[in-house]
Amino acid sequence: MLLRIPQVLTKEQVSHCRERLASADWIDGRVTAGLGSAKVKKNTQLPEDSAVAVELGDLILTALESNAIFVSAALPSRVFPPLFNRYEVGDGFGAHVDNAIRQGLDAEARIRTDLSCTLFLSAPDEYDGGELTVDDTYGSHSVKLPAGDMVLYPSTSLHAVTPVTRGARIASFFWLQSMVRDDGQRTLLFDFDRSIQALNADHAGHAAIVPLTGIYHNLLRRWAEL
């Protein structure tokens, strides 16, 4: 499942992030790339232990905790601390698949990467190129979202960032381990949950809502890993 989640951050929060990032110290982005990925990656990013990265990462995680679409779609168990990258003219990231396991500075940040997240902090008209391309069974998808919007997709997907030809693309990226590792099962649960919510919105108190909610939780109980 490839899912756009709109307005994860407000305009004010995006502006705050951009102000803090403007004066931050950036390093070679290959520090978080595996051997193969490092050969096709050219960008800069904030050090993982940067005070700015920690501050803004906490801001993003707090926003996600109250985002109903994110929680329903991701069913997060552990979220890797958000990182931040910048692609300038000539920068890009060739086709690659994210590492299966991510180890952060804190030993407890070690996770299985079930889902990858890109939260856009630059508006689309600020740069040319820089599209995130994600391949799945339905073809290749090009993603370039408004600042504050996020895309969520399986970490098993082959993906890339096309070269930037004007301006700069700034984003936060991170991974998460879901309570339900299978993408097909997660997608089914997400669709089921959204359908129940829609039914409740249109027909509050409908007799089918309680048994359907029970089926949802019984499926989650069957598939969840804690």
User: Which residues carry a binding-site annotation for 2-oxoglutarate?
Assistant: 169
Residues flagged as binding site for Fe cation: 96, 98, 159
Q: Is 47 helix (H, G, I), strand (E, B) or coil?
A: coil
> Locate tokens 């994860």: which residue?
8
Q: How far is CA 57 from CA 13, 27, 93, 178, in A?
A: 12, 17, 22, 19
Contacts of 38 (CB under 8 A, 6+ apart): 30
Q: Coil, strand, or helix at residue 208?
A: coil
Q: Which of 75, 94, 78, 53 is nearest to 193 (CA)?
A: 75
CB burial string 5-22: b at 16+ within 10 A, e below: bebbbeeebbeebeebbe
Backbone φ and ψ of 180, nearest 5°? -120, 105
In degrees and rounded to multiples of 5, residue 196 shows phi and psi of -65, -40
* Closest CA relative to residue 116, chosen from 132, 130, 98: 98
User: Annotated binding site: which residue ranges?
Assistant: 96, 98, 159, 169
DSSP tag of 24: S
